[in-house]
Amino acid sequence: MIESAAQYAQWCDAAPSPERSRFLLRARANTSVWLQILDEYPRCQRQVSRNGSISLQVLERLRAVRDFGVQYRVLSNDLWRQTHPDDVDPFELSPNEHVEYELTVVERSVLRHGLLQWSGPASCTEELSIAMGFTSVANLIHDGERIGAAIKGCQPLQHFDWTRALLATEIGFMSNIVGAGHDWSIATGFSDEETLKTIRELQLHLVAGGAALRAFGTIPKRS
């Protein structure tokens, strides 16, 4: 049981570990404590939104924040969907809808570098650029600069753009065949460890599935 907002914030700020993940997902607290956490430590709202035990009052507070990653957790919450059946269906989002995410400076920088590497050490093919949601390598570079500038400037982007940014970063960071690979840390100034940690958090936070994924092509039906 979480007894204070400060106790939760300590766990929230702790280094990633299985123990931390389990605690943040499963910890329980009175509604007053959850609201105190959101008031005093707004940086923890991501983690709070992922907790399955939060009350409707806490969900209502989170539904009003600007960060769409947090909103999406609320929209996907069973309690919220039962009590607000007329709210947006999280599985029927338009890939062209513009949304905002409250990201850290490091998260924004990693995404921006992930896009810019395709005009630097990365070596993209026309086919791969299309697979990543662009129309060509030239379009990847052009749109990558536009998307990267918007991310740096904390501007809203389409779901499709956020998804393309994340995918381009995942491939650009990891692949040494087509991406920056071993040159990543030299080109960006981010170590592999910090980059991987950041990408893992972005994978949890950015809404990159559903309608946004369908914009890439046909999703096969699962048997």
Write out the two tokens for 76. 């996907």
Regarding whether 20 and 72 lie in a shared domain, the answer is yes
Regarding whether 185 and 111 lie in a shared domain, the answer is yes
Q: In a 3-state reduction of DSSP, which class is residue 158?
A: strand
Q: In a 3-state reduction of DSSP, which class is residue 154?
A: coil
What pLDDT sits at residue 210? 67
Average pLDDT over residues 174-203: 96
Task: Please say which residue of 15, 48, 83 terminates a domain.
Answer: 83
* Total domains, the chain: 2
Tell me if 220 is assigned to some domain.
no
| pLDDT of 213 above 80 | no
Please count the helices (runs of H) and the strands (runs of E) in the chain: 14, 2
Q: Is the pTM of this model over 0.85?
A: yes
Regarding whether 121 and 192 lie in a shared domain, the answer is yes
The mean pLDDT value of the chain amounts to 94
Return the closest-CA partner of residue 207 out of 74, 118, 28.
Answer: 74
149-156 LR contacts (CB < 8 Å, sep 24+): 149/112, 151/103, 151/108, 151/111, 151/112, 152/108, 152/109, 152/112, 154/100, 154/108, 155/100, 156/98, 156/99, 156/100
How many angstroms separate the CA atoms of 57 and 36, rounded?
12
Query: What are the tens digits of pLDDT across the range 11-43?
Result: 999 988 999 999 999 999 999 999 999 999 999
The residue range of the domain holding 199 is 98-214
Regarding whether 118 and 79 lie in a shared domain, the answer is no
Query: What are the tens digits of pLDDT across the range 154-178?
Result: 999 999 999 999 999 999 999 999 9
Query: What are the tens digits of pLDDT across the range 90-101?
Result: 888 888 999 999
Q: In a 3-state reduction of DSSP, which class is residue 156?
A: coil
| Total residues found in the chain within this entry | 223
What pLDDT sits at residue 209? 66
Regarding whether 104 and 78 lie in a shared domain, the answer is no
Q: In a 3-state reduction of DSSP, which class is residue 2?
A: coil
